[in-house]
């Protein structure tokens, strides 16, 4: 079954910081995107649920390619191992290769250089993973414990997302035909980030951790594919 993405933080992660050059490239683009997204129709999957009120790489929209690799610095490194996930959107060459094997030429990966606390750079290559899959996958009549929620029915009568019914343990039935062959997607009406069964099983087999929603979130919903 598909798996929820969230980062369980069971293992302490390195703490990182953007370089000034990274900030100088990123912040003007992100702010312009915030303005653009606020003008979208609410029926658009890219309506600003994720990107209008805070800076972030978000989902579904390509970023312009930087003229040089972006740089982050590890300011604190617990242990002596640098994980393959520095964050859900910051991944190693190994993860990028697997994603592109599953979904060739779908997602965007921006090159990233990772500076160590001592000023050297990692030999392992990293990338910013911009997810391009924004999907509406929930099959409501086969799900349980969720209902449509209209946050402004007068202004947007056809726009809704899904919310949990109080006191229930939801079952999310996801449309299998929409997610087959995917590595990752965001269900924009559930407001959830998913990895496919295929990709999650590969991560498990490789011992790659630090990406899955923790026990509390996982216990709150059962995922099935129909």
Rounded distance, CA 43 to CA 24, Å? 32
From first to last of its 226 residues, the chain has per-residue pLDDT tens of 898 887 555 456 788 999 999 999 998 988 888 777 777 777 776 665 544 344 467 678 888 889 888 999 999 888 778 889 888 789 999 999 999 999 999 999 999 999 999 999 998 899 999 999 989 999 999 999 999 988 778 877 878 889 889 888 899 999 999 999 999 998 988 888 899 999 999 999 999 887 876 554 555 689 999 9
- Is the pTM here over 0.85, yes or no? yes
Q: Give which of 26, 18, 117, 19 is closest to 75, Cα–Cα.
A: 117
15-40 in b/e form (b: 16+ CB < 10 A) is ebeeeeebeebbeeebeebbeebeee
Please state the domain extents for the chain: 10-130, 134-225
CB 28 within 8 A of CB 100: no
Phi and psi based region of residue 60 (left: phi greater than 0; alpha: psi -120 to 50; beta: remaining): left
> What dihedral do alpha carbons 11, 8, 60, 138 form, nearest 10°?
160
CB 164 within 8 A of CB 216: no
Number of C-alpha atoms within 13 angstroms, CB side, residue 130?
17
Rounded distance, CA 11 to CA 78, Å? 9
């Amino acid at each position: 079954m598909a798996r929820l993405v969230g980062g369980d933080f069971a293992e302490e992660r390195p703490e990182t910081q953007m370089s000034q050059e990274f900030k100088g490239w990123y912040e003007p683009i992100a702010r312009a995107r915030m303005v653009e997204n606020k003008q979208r129709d609410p029926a658009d999957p890219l309506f600003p649920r994720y990107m209008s009120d805070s800076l972030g790489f978000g989902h579904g929209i390509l970023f312009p390619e930087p003229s040089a690799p972006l740089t982050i610095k590890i300011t604190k490194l617990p242990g002596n191992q640098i994980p393959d996930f520095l964050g859900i959107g910051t991944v190693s060459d190994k993860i990028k290769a697997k994603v592109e094997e599953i979904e060739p030429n779908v997602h965007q990966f921006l090159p990233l250089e990772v500076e160590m606390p001592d000023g050297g750079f990692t030999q392992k290559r990293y990338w910013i993973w911009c997810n391009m899959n924004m999907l509406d996958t929930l099959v409501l009549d086969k799900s349980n414990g969720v209902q449509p929620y209209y946050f402004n029915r007068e202004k947007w009568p056809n726009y809704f997302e899904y919310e949990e019914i109080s006191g229930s343990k939801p079952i999310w039935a996801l449309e299998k035909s929409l997610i087959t062959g995917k590595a990752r997607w965001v269900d924009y009406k559930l407001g959830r980030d998913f990895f496919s069964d295929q990709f999650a099983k590969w991560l498990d087999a490789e011992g790659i951790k630090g990406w899955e929603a923790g026990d509390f979130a996982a216990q709150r919903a059962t995922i099935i594919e129909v």
